Homo-oligomer: A and B are copies of this chain.
Amino acid sequence: MAAERTLAMATCTAPVNIAVIKYWGKRDTDLILPINSSLSVTLHQDQLRTTTTAAASRDFTEDRLWLNGKEADVGHPRVQACLREVRRLARKRRGGGEDAAVLSLSYKIHIASENNFPTAAGLASSAAGYACLVSALARLYGLEEELSEVARRGSGSACRSMFGGFVQWQRGERPDGTDSLALQVAPETHWPELRVLILVVSGEKKPVGSTAGMQTSVETSPLLKHRAEVVVPERLAQMMQHIQERDFEGFGQLAMRDSNQFHATCLDTFPPIFYLTDVSRHIIALAHRYNAHHGHTKVAYTFDAGPNAV
Contacts and interface: CB of A to CB of B under 8 A. Distances in A.
A264 B274 CA distance: 11
A265 interface: yes
Classify the interface of chain A: helix, strand, loop or mixed: helix
A278 interface: yes
Contacts of A284: 271-272
Interface stretch (A34-42, A69-77, A219-227): A219-227
A230 interface: yes
Contacts of A230: 222, 226
Protomer copies: 2
Contact of A261 (B227, B268, B277): B268
B271 A288 contact: yes
A263 interface: yes
A257 interface: yes
Interface in A250-296: 253, 256-257, 260-261, 263-265, 267-272, 274, 277-278, 281, 284, 288
A270 B297 CA distance: 13
Q: Is the interface on chain A under 10, 10 to 19, 20 to 34, or 35 or more residues?
A: 20 to 34
A162 B226 CA distance: 35
Contact of A223 (B256, B261, B288): B261
Contacts of A196: none
A100 interface: no
A231 interface: yes
B264 A268 contact: yes
A24 B41 CA distance: 35
A269 B263 CA distance: 11
Contact of A272 (B260, B269, B278): B260
Given A256-B270, A260-B269, 18 more contacts: A220-B257, A222-B230, A222-B231, A223-B223, A223-B227, A223-B231, A223-B261, A223-B265, A226-B230, A260-B267, A260-B270, A260-B272, A264-B268, A267-B267, A272-B284, A274-B281, A277-B278, A278-B278
Nearest to A267: B264
